Amino acid sequence: MKNILVLCTGNSCRSQIAEGYLRHFAGNKANIYSAGIETHGVNPKAIQVMTEDGIDISQHTSNNVDEYINIPFDCVITVCDNANEACPFFPGNVGRFHQNFPDPAKAIGNTAQVMDEFRKVRDMIKIYAEDFVRKHLP
């Protein structure tokens, strides 16, 4: 079984959403982890928009990448440019993948506008996660 890490800056939104969708689409084909260069806690709006799509990430925790240094990852997916640049070295034949998604936590506007941004980013990550599983976890 493959070990896949999703890495972001704060492990609060994008990486949490990606972890939820990768777990959903991969089923028992992979162990999915998410972490951040820092930890900011799981964003309640990320939990909300994932719940709207039938994925429960309410029990996820915000973890620092250093907590996973001893796990032999097969793939590391960075979901923001900052994490891609700050990604630590993982020994072995680790596939590196990168897709920069907008940070919905930085959305401005009224509540409806902010939630629309969270949904937009969620939908982008969902498409990416489904495609990743199809291509890399046959």
Return the closest-CA partner of residue 32 out of 125, 102, 106, 121: 125
Among 38, 63, 87, 115, the one annotated catalytic: 87
Distance CA 44, CA 104 (A): 12
Among 4, 6, 7, 8, the one annotated catalytic: 8
- Catalytic (active site) residue 75: no
- Catalytic (active site) residue 13: no
Among 80, 105, 121, 133, the one annotated catalytic: 80
- Catalytic residue annotation: 8, 80, 87
